[in-house]
């Protein structure tokens, strides 16, 4: 992926959640990250939490820059991949922080994709009853979505992200150069979240994505997505209501991931999940006529498959085990039109009939 647009501009988006923090977006930011962290923290020591793949590519540069800004640093490297996203990794990291004398004044720097950000943030949330942390997203998905908003946690044997905390970072540093090494699947993961973000709340962005190559306008698109997500999180940090719209496509998407035993990547699954739900809601008259085709065209144009072989009854069964059920109901996010989302509660017993229209 070769971003062409990047220059030395640093974009900054303020998110007023937690203590309030900036998301800095731009090319080459890792070369100045120590100063950026110095501007927002009064820490002596930083514990870098990083996956093995990102460590191989950027670990020395990242830690070196933090050290050159005057911080004492230590680095905890865990095996890259979702299999590491469990409480044991977090406990190991917590022990590592104790051994390295990380105090309440100090902070975690979580570098990587969603796995590193979620776990590093969760460790920061519970170590010494909470210390500060910095997010350094290195995947398109974490840049546009998971590094912002303070959802942290781990998977359990019962499912994804079932244990965690809302714990906002003190700063997010998104160096767009680091996204250049993302695989095609990682780019698709991020692209699905970008389409989701535009579809639920910004028709202008949706149309912009239609006519533009995302990789050539990375900083611009990341900034727009972060602004949208920031507004949602500011209004509903703990997902009591509005924040649920960020889960558009994810209920069926998670079911597709589970059905494929995680052989289908998150983005590809969410893309199909958005289409399944939009088709059903358009059939029921809650989504404006034509929205399904518009979404289908964009998803297909960005390189996604638009159908799954997974039977709908199986997907519904898996969706019902998802944490988004509440009592006898499941909240489904749908599009009223492109750029406007709603939440509709369906009885679990009616889910299959509703979706399989
Ligand atoms: N990724 C959805 C959220 O942060 O709420």
Instruction: Give the whole-angstrom CA distance, residue 214 versus residue 320.
Output: 34
**Which residue's C-alpha comes closest to atom 2 of ligand 1?**
246
Among candidates 265, 272, 214, which has minimal Cα distance to 248? 272
Of the candidates 4, 129, 211, 309, the residue annotated as catalytic is 129
Atom of ligand 1 nearest to the CA of 193: 1
Q: What's the mean pLDDT in 8-36?
A: 96
Site to probe by mutation for ligand 1, drawn from 146, 161, 168, 232 as the one with most ligand atoms within 8 Å of Cβ, is 146
Residues with CB under 6 A from ligand 1: 145-146, 149, 151, 243, 246
State residue 327's pLDDT score. Answer: 80
Q: Is the pLDDT of residue 4 over 60?
A: no
Of the candidates 75, 132, 243, 302, the residue annotated as catalytic is 243
Percent of the chain with pLDDT over 90: 91
Digit-coded pLDDT (tens) for 147-204: 999 999 999 888 888 899 999 999 999 999 999 999 999 999 999 999 999 999 999 9
Q: What's the mean pLDDT in 72-85?
A: 96
Q: Is the pLDDT of residue 357 over 90?
A: no
Instruction: Give the whole-angstrom CA distance, residue 25 versus residue 33.
Output: 12
Digit-coded pLDDT (tens) for 243-268: 999 999 999 999 999 999 989 999 99
Angle between helix 266-283 and 250-259 (nearest 10): 130
Distances in Å between the alpha carbon of 327 and those of 203, 321, 331, 349? 33, 11, 10, 12
pTM over the 0.85 mark = yes
Residue 151 annotated in active site: yes
Q: What's the mean pLDDT in 129-142?
A: 98
Ligand 1 centroid, distance to 247 Cα (angstroms)? 7
């Amino acid at each position: 992926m070769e971003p062409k647009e990047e220059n030395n501009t640093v974009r900054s988006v303020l998110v007023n959640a937690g203590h309030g923090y900036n998301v800095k977006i731009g090319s080459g930011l890792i070369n100045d990250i120590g100063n950026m962290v110095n501007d927002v923290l009064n820490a002596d020591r930083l514990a870098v939490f990083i996956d093995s793949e990102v460590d191989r590519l950027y670990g020395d540069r990242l830690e070196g820059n933090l050290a050159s800004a005057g911080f004492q640093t230590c680095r905890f490297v865990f095996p890259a991949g979702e299999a590491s996203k469990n409480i044991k990794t977090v406990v190991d990291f917590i022990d590592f922080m104790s051994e390295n004398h990380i105090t309440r004044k100090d902070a975690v720097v979580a570098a990587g994709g969603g796995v590193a950000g979620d776990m590093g943030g969760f460790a920061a949330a519970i170590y010494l009853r909470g210390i500060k942390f910095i997010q350094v997203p290195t995947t398109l998905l974490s840049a546009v979505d998971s590094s912002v908003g303070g959802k942290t946690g781990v998977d359990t044997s019962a499912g994804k992200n079932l244990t965690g905390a809302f714990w906002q970072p003190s700063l997010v540093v998104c160096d767009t150069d680091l996204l250049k090494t993302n695989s095609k699947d990682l780019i698709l993961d991020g692209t699905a979240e970008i389409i989701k973000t535009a579809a639920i709340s910004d028709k202008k962005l949706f149309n912009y994505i239609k006519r533009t190559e995302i990789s050539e306008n990375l900083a611009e698109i990341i900034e727009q997505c972060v602004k949208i997500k920031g507004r949602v999180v500011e209004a509903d940090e703990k997902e009591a209501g509005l924040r649920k719209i960020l889960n558009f496509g994810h209920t069926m998407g998670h079911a597709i991931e589970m059905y494929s035993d995680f052989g289908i990547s998150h983005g590809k699954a969410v893309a199909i999940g958005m289409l399944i739900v939009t088709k059903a809601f358009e059939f029921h008259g809650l989504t404006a006529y034509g929205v399904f085709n518009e979404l289908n065209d964009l998803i297909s144009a960005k390189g996604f498959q638009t159908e799954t072989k997974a039977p709908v009854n199986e997907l519904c069964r898996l969706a019902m085990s998802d944490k988004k059920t509440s009592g006898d109901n499941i909240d489904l996010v749908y599009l009223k039109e492109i750029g406007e989302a709603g939440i509709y509660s369906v009885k679990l017993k009616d889910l299959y009939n509703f979706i399989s229209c």
